[in-house]
Amino acid sequence: MTQASLLMQAELVHSLPARARFRCRFHGVPDWSGLVAAAERIPGVESARASARARSLVLAFEPSLTDPVRLKGALLTLAPQSGPDVRLADTDTGGARDALIASAMVLFGIGWLPRAAQLAISVAAARTLFREAGEDLAREGITSRVLEGLAVAISLARGDFAVANTTGFLLSLGEYLSETTARRSDLLLRDLLRPVHPVVWVMRDGQEIEIPADEVVIGDIVVVAAGSVLPVDGRVLSGLASVNEAALTGEATLVEKTRGSRVLSGSLVQDGRIAIYAETVGAGTVTARIADYVERSLAAKGQMQLDSARLADQLVPTILRVATGSFLISGDWRRPASVLQADYSCALKLATPIAFRYAMYGAGQSGILIKGADALERLAEADTFVFDKTGTLTTGVLEVTDAIAFDDDFSPEDLICLAASVEEHYAFHPLAMAVVEAARATGRNKHFDHQEVEFIVAHGVASMMEGKRIVVGSRHFVEDDEGIDCSAQRGMIDRLFDDGKTVLFVGFGGRLLGIIGLEDTLRASAGATIARLRELGARRILMLTGDRDDRAAEIAAMLGLDGYHADLLPEEKARIIGQLAESGARIAFVGDGINDAPALARAHVGIAMNRGADIARLTADIVLLEDDVTGLADALMIAHEVMEIIRLSFRLTIGLNTSILAGAATGLLSPLATSVLHNGSTIAILLNVLRRRIGPRHPAAPALTG
């Protein structure tokens, strides 16, 4: 960060086991790129990403080395850095900028020279235009570039150097504005998709070494510890770990992995440590797929963009006929020189792609990755929104919902606090984290004294309290390993399991003291997002879930949904999307798991959560990078806004250029006036696109006081 830009406040607004988001406030001019560069030097931080518009900084970190509280302290003590390597966007446009400067120098700097010198310099300045016009003529026939080149050539032949050079300057200015916006959006898209975990640990010659992820090869032994994401597909050779496969299955449950178990890249090792034989090199294949779809995203053109370009090309022969007719009728060379300046192609072909790129750039700054203009168009057309419940309408994070004590001396609150007393030593685990949070929520947060806690990987925790053994963990751990009889409470236990809940068993002194039920909870923003979607024109909003019908009905009623499909198997989602599409609905499907990929592909437009599986993000048309479903309504608003801007630009282009063309054909406008009006109106339309703030309006940060 620069000396004039110091971080004054870093408020923790959201955290996960290996990820934290801070809302930041600077003293002086914000230096987000400098903050990113400095944050990535903090011990334990694996990557950093900033959103200037949202005023937030997202840190991915190694939980065994640091935590959100320590990260906050480290952020506030960062020393200013100079010359950061990381940039949120880059506005350098190379050749277009140089061409603009050169054309300005020619336009304003040669009027005092002899006419022969002016002619030579003007021809040299127009050389690129003439070359591009000749290439277009040879390859595509008469195009707008050919008309522009012909108009400049006529002006030069007549000695109207001011007209020729004004035209060249205005064309260069339009191209500079276009390329600047395109480059900013392209660089942002690539930055948003950079690898989150650039290095991995592998066994080489009996030693663990750290290497870049893209250097992992098939056959390497990759070592992954708690808090890390699996970088490869393969088989476990040794070790034991509990793995969170929510990114793959969409369910926030843990799976035990031992020797011989199959593991997939993208899963999170919640606890334990395993060595994996790499069968498929995840880093390489993921990098290749990301590069492929980024390139396709940047090249993809929406239907409206294609229609605008097609209309512009169809009008070129008309312009040429009007120019020829105006000369045959009047015998005045100035008229065709004027008419040829007034083609429709510039604004039609530039305004639409710039609007789409600008919208994609603004969306990216707000944490929404939109993969191409066609994705925006299809989202604007969507009338039916379908959510896969887990990880979209719900958080994917467990929360305590039930506490049932089987001892009269213990209340449900006591049971939670007792479990939290031993679980708090391993609060990086999602179950432990949920129980500790529930204990705090009781308002008592009573602590039960106990001896040293033993952590049994993929089973639970154990300790001694008042001379008796206390265990907290899975049914298998308590019933089979500890030999505690749970048969008398089987009815209550089965009821929680039937409700789709995760059940934590608490044993004390060789008997079952109680059970704690946990489940994935609804996002706080889900209801507001549904309401915003309706305000923005959504006709139907549906939910797909594997939950039982009564639970699905309860959630649908809470959120005000129009319907739901319950008791679904993963493979049934794509079938339902297909049936809805056949009925004429234009479907926007929101999912995050590997089993959502077919449904995302079949929908009119697919939206994925960033915490979801790689294949879901790759298949989706839009990715919500902040893992907040609110971004869906923001994306829909952006889609509607950009389509409104494009329609307005289209009407202005047709209206203004038709008027200019009529004035040029009838001799009311000179070549210079036509050039200024035509190119000026084109630039004005582009600036109108760029001045419009596309995307969610974040409130300004409150001023610092005291």
- DSSP letters spanning 268-298: EEEEEEEEEEEEE-HHHHHHHHHHHHHHHHH
Tell me what pLDDT residue 404 has: 96
Tell me what pLDDT residue 79 has: 42
Residue 373 has pLDDT above 70, yes or no: yes
The topology (CATH level 3) of 367-394+525-636 is: Rossmann fold (3.40.50)
pLDDT above 90 as % of the chain:
23
Q: Look up the CATH number of domain 199-283.
A: 2.70.150.10
* Main-chain phi, psi angles of 302, to 5 degrees: -75, 165
Q: Which of 64-68, 299-303, 686-690 has the lowest mean pLDDT?
A: 299-303
CA atoms of 546 and 554, how far apart (whole Å): 14
32 compared with 622, residue with greater pLDDT: 622
Residue 28 has pLDDT above 50, yes or no: no
Beta strands 587-591 and 384-388 are: parallel
CA atoms of 498 and 517, how far apart (whole Å): 11
Query: Mean pLDDT over residues 556-564, rounded?
Result: 94
CA atoms of 512 and 509, how far apart (whole Å): 8
Residue 287 has pLDDT above 50, yes or no: no
Query: Mean pLDDT over residues 483-500, rounded?
Result: 90
Query: Mean pLDDT over residues 647-654, rounded?
Result: 87
Beta strands 605-609 and 587-591 are: parallel
CA distances to 204, 429, 571 from 397, rounded to whole Å, are 37, 11, 24
- pLDDT winner (highest mean) among 11-15, 24-28, 618-622, 644-648: 644-648
Name the band, by pLDDT with cuts 50, 70 and 90, for residue 605. very high
Residue 86 has pLDDT above 60, yes or no: no
The three-state secondary structure class of 7 is: strand
Give residue 350's identity as a one-letter amino acid code: L
Name the band, by pLDDT with cuts 50, 70 and 90, for residue 351. confident
Residue 230 has pLDDT above 60, yes or no: yes
Tell me what pLDDT residue 195 has: 45
Residue 633 has pLDDT above 50, yes or no: yes
Tell me what pLDDT residue 623 has: 86
**CA-CA-CA-CA dihedral for 21, 370, 349, 181, to nearest 10:** 20
CA atoms of 122 and 115, how far apart (whole Å): 10
Tell me what pLDDT residue 285 has: 39
Residue 520 has pLDDT above 80, yes or no: yes
Whether 197 contacts 62, CB under 8 Å: no
Tell me what pLDDT residue 477 has: 92
Helices 303-330 and 345-365: crossing angle in degrees, nearest 10, is 160
Query: Mean pLDDT over residues 18-23, rounded?
Result: 85
* Active-site annotation, residues: 388
Tell me what pLDDT residue 414 has: 93
Q: Which of 76-90, 104-118, 394-408, 443-457 has the lowest mean pLDDT?
A: 76-90
User: In CATH, which superfamily holds the domain spanning 401-521?
Assistant: Calcium-transporting ATPase, cytoplasmic domain N (3.40.1110.10)
Q: Which of 314-318, 388-392, 515-519, 617-621 has the lowest mean pLDDT?
A: 617-621
Tell me what pLDDT residue 430 has: 77
pLDDT tens for each residue of 587-597 = 999 987 656 77
CA distances to 76, 330, 333, 343, 372 from 324, rounded to whole Å, are 70, 10, 10, 14, 40
Residue 97 has pLDDT above 50, yes or no: yes
Residue 290 has pLDDT above 70, yes or no: no
Tell me what pLDDT residue 138 has: 83
Q: In what side-by-side order are the strands of the sheet with 19-27?
A: 6-16, 19-27, 56-61, 45-51
- Residue 400 β-bridge partners: 518
pLDDT tens for each residue of 310-344 = 676 777 778 888 888 988 988 888 888 888 777 77
Please, what is the average pLDDT of the chain?
Answer: 79
Residue 704 has pLDDT above 50, yes or no: no
Whether 591 contacts 396, CB under 8 Å: no
Q: Which of 22-31, 404-413, 449-458, 648-657 has the lowest mean pLDDT?
A: 22-31
CA distances to 379, 391, 568 from 589, rounded to whole Å, are 10, 13, 16
pLDDT above 70 as % of the chain:
78
Whether 690 contacts 358, CB under 8 Å: yes
Tally Cβ neighbours within 10 Å of residue 620: 28
Query: Mean pLDDT over residues 235-260, rounded?
Result: 75
This prediction has a pTM of 0.61
Say how many CA atoms lie within 13 Å of 204 toward its Cβ.
9
pLDDT tens for each residue of 106-128 = 767 776 788 788 788 878 877 87
> What kind and span of H or E run contains 321?
helix 303-330
CA atoms of 614 and 425, how far apart (whole Å): 32
CA distances to 409, 412, 422 from 406, rounded to whole Å, are 9, 9, 19
Name the band, by pLDDT with cuts 50, 70 and 90, for residue 7. low
Q: Which of 261-265, 420-424, 562-566 has the lowest mean pLDDT?
A: 261-265
CA atoms of 27 and 13, how far apart (whole Å): 20
Q: Which of 261-265, 532-536, 560-564, 657-661 has the lowest mean pLDDT?
A: 261-265
pLDDT tens for each residue of 416-470 = 999 999 988 776 677 888 999 899 888 777 889 999 988 887 788 999 999 999 9
The topology (CATH level 3) of 6-76 is: Alpha-Beta Plaits (3.30.70)
